[in-house]
Amino acid sequence: MAAIKTKIELQYGDKSVSQEDLVSRAKKAFEEKYNVKGLKSMELYVKPEDGKAYYVVNHEMTGDIEL
């Protein structure tokens, strides 16, 4: 079975943010915070009520970004 192309856009209040933007900003924040390049995995937990997305990189390093 062929993979399907997906697009995720989070919309809340008067804001909108794409999956690509969240991943890109979380990756940049991670690299700046830990001074490390190269991600094996990333989990993103988006909490609009906090105005943040929380990330876990390589199953151990954590942080957050503003939505």
**Does residue 2 lie in a domain region?**
no
| Residue showing tokens 């794409």 | 18
Reported as a single tens digit per residue, the pLDDT across 29-55 is 999 999 988 789 999 999 999 999 999
Beta strand 61-66 with 9-12 is unpaired
**Does residue 19 lie in a domain region?**
yes
pTM: 0.84
| Residue showing tokens 């997305």 | 53
In the chain, what are the helix, strand and coil shares in percent, each to the nearest 5?
25, 40, 35
**Does residue 3 lie in a domain region?**
no
- Considering its fold, how many domains does the chain have in total? 1
| Mean pLDDT score of the chain | 93
What is the predicted pLDDT for the residue at 37? 84
What is the predicted pLDDT for the residue at 25? 96
Q: What's the domain range around 46?
A: 9-66
Confidence category of residue 65, pLDDT binned at 50, 70, 90? very high
User: Do 26 and 15 form a contact (C-beta atoms < 8 A)?
Assistant: no
